[in-house]
Amino acid sequence: MQRAGRVVVLAAGLGTRMKSARPKVLAPLCGRPMLGWVLDTGAGLQAEQLDLVIGKEGAELQAVAERELSARGASAPRLRCVLQEPRHGTGHALQTCLPEVGKGSAPVVVLYGDMPLLRAQSLQRLVAHWYERCSGGSRAGIALLTARARDPFGLGRVIRAAGGGVRAIVEQRDASPEQRAIDEVNLGVYAFDPRFLAEALPRLTNDNAQREYYLTDLIASAVAAGRTVEAVVLDDEREALGVNTLRQLAQVRRELQDRILDEHLSAGVYIEDPDSTYIDHGVTIGAGTRILPCTVIRAGVAIGRDCEVGPFTQLRTGTVLEDGAEVGNFTECKQARVGAHAKAKHLAYLGDVAIGARVNIGAGTIVANYDGKLKHKSTIGERAFIGSGTVLIAPVEVGAGALTGGGAVVTRNTVIAPGEAWVGVPARKLAKRSAESKAPAPTPAAPAPASSRSSAASRSSAASRSSKGTPSKHKTSSSRAPRARSKQK
Ligand code: UD1
Ligand code: CA
């Protein structure tokens, strides 16, 4: 691959058409800020240096850029953030990167931070074209990306001479009616000869409708200076879709979503209805997994092989489904590890919880992870059986093979030993586990004084609904008791 000397990403613009106070390039697109997509594409050129032009509210942009690039490890370019203040247009933005962008002989590739659909391959094609056609000595000039747009409104139009050569770019606002009829548009992606930049950038003027210094004026000045200017026309006009408005943000998101879904489909993930499936960037899914309709899977989720997710399910950041796990029908997971072949198939909230292999989470189970101030972690051991409607008030520990009865409310800091059965409100240990119980044999229950019976438990209708337990059997134990074992953190 031919390398760029330097990549410059312009991201200082105000994004006024978005009507938002936040920098436009931080808008989220499939779980990643817009800028992340653009930097990733730019970093694909393996340039040593990446300049990011930011405005005065750009501290967050810098943090995002550092994070996104560091994810690329050793192959990441060095990042230099350049402040453009005040802002006088795209040409002025590149001027702020002088004199560095005017040095060396490898091309300077410039792209805009609001074009997240641009593909790394298109950039590579551009750079290869620059080396092949636009790099020769004193005639070294510019290669730029263009596309034929069905709706060119708002974009710079490419003006060509009778012989077909590129002469200039005219912005929508400055274009004549004839020029507005042109459907070839400027993407805002260029490979420049650095010496040409050193010469021509300082000479830009702001003689136009917006009184801005247009980077696009460099095309006409290169032609006038006898430099080579060539367009690489993209086949896929969707790459030309920039984000100036919230409507365009939604369109671009849809495109990126389709690309992500496509990758999973080709990797053997069955997605029944791509139109109602939302999968963020940075999600891993094993082959053979089935994703059913109306499902949202957020960035950072990892799903093993042969799992089933959905319908109507949200998997939030930090969730891991091990092979064969199944979650669906109005279940939400957040920072949950769901063990191999464990099931939570109906109406559950599983937050900050590690669930062992082959656990069954009954319908309506809630892990109440938040006490109003802090989030707490819980664990459920393998093959445990959590009865329908159980509320586990975190932090709790449910041992392997343990059982909770339908409607049990397991209060915070409870530790349910392996094999025990707990029922009622608040949940108490059942003295004896019935032989027909689904889960493995319980450990013997500790004797408990009758006086310690919980009146709440004996009144609990939930407890009396539980399989074999009657309220009279509910006991709390003194020494092995489930009560607060440790203080809440
Ligand atoms: C620009 C191009 C247009 C092209 C279109 C492609 C110019 C003059 N016009 O128009 O030909 O068809 O992109 O989407 O270049 N920025 C700065 N500093 C500034 C102004 C802008 O850093 O002072 C950054 C913005 O953050 C943005 C990018 O430059 O990422 C483009 O600016 P924008 O105002 O969106 O340009 P367009 O009107 O879309
Ligand atoms: Ca734009």
Report if residue 487 sits inside a domain: no
CATH number of domain containing 331? 2.160.10.10
CATH number of domain containing 201? 3.90.550.10
Active site residue 346: yes
Same domain, residue pair 382 and 460:
yes
Report if residue 170 sits inside a domain: yes
Task: Indicate if ligand 1 lies below 6 Å from the C-beta of 252.
Answer: no
Report if residue 19 sits inside a domain: yes
Report if residue 481 sits inside a domain: no
Domain count, the chain: 2
Domain boundary among 224, 240, 256: 240
Ligand found nearest the CA of 186 = 1
Average pLDDT, the chain: 90
- Check whether the bond before 311 is cis (ω within 30° of 0): yes
Q: How many angstroms does the Cα of residue 415 sit away from the middle of ligand 2?
A: 57
Q: Is the pLDDT of residue 224 over 50?
A: yes
The confidence band for 437, taking pLDDT boundaries of 50, 70 and 90, is: low
Domain boundary among 207, 240, 273: 240
Same domain, residue pair 416 and 288:
yes
Q: Tell me how far apart the alpha carbons of residues 304 and 268 are, in angstroms, rounded to a whole number.
A: 12
Beta-carbon contacts of 89 under 8 Å, excluding residues fewer than 6 positions away, are 206, 210, 212, 213, 214, 215
Domain boundary among 197, 214, 240: 240
Report percent pLDDT > 90 for the chain: 82
Report if residue 488 sits inside a domain: no
Same domain, residue pair 250 and 222:
no
Same domain, residue pair 285 and 314:
yes
Q: What is the pLDDT of residues 322-363, one digit of tens each?
A: 999 999 999 999 999 999 999 999 999 999 999 999 999 999
Q: Tokens 């367009």 map to which residue?
A: 231
Among 92, 129, 341, 346, the one annotated catalytic: 346
Q: Which residue has the higher pLDDT, 197 or 137?
A: 197
Task: Indicate if ligand 1 lies below 6 Å from the C-beta of 186.
Answer: yes
Q: Tell me how far apart the alpha carbons of residues 193 and 107 are, in angstroms, rounded to a whole number.
A: 5
Report if residue 1 sits inside a domain: no
The confidence band for 252, taking pLDDT boundaries of 50, 70 and 90, is: very high
Domain interval for residue 314: 246-475
Same domain, residue pair 314 and 394:
yes
Model pTM?
0.87
Residue of 68, 52, 56 lying closest to 112 (CA atoms):
52
Q: How many angstroms does the Cα of residue 139 sit away from the middle of ligand 2?
A: 30
Give the closest residue (by CA) to ligand 1 atom 20.
89
Q: What is the pLDDT of residues 264-319, one digit of tens each?
A: 999 999 999 999 999 999 999 999 999 999 999 999 999 999 999 999 999 999 99
Same domain, residue pair 186 and 272:
no
For 364-484, strand residue ranges (E) read: 366-368, 378-380, 385-386, 391-393, 397-398, 403-404, 409-410, 415-416, 421-423, 428-430, 474-475
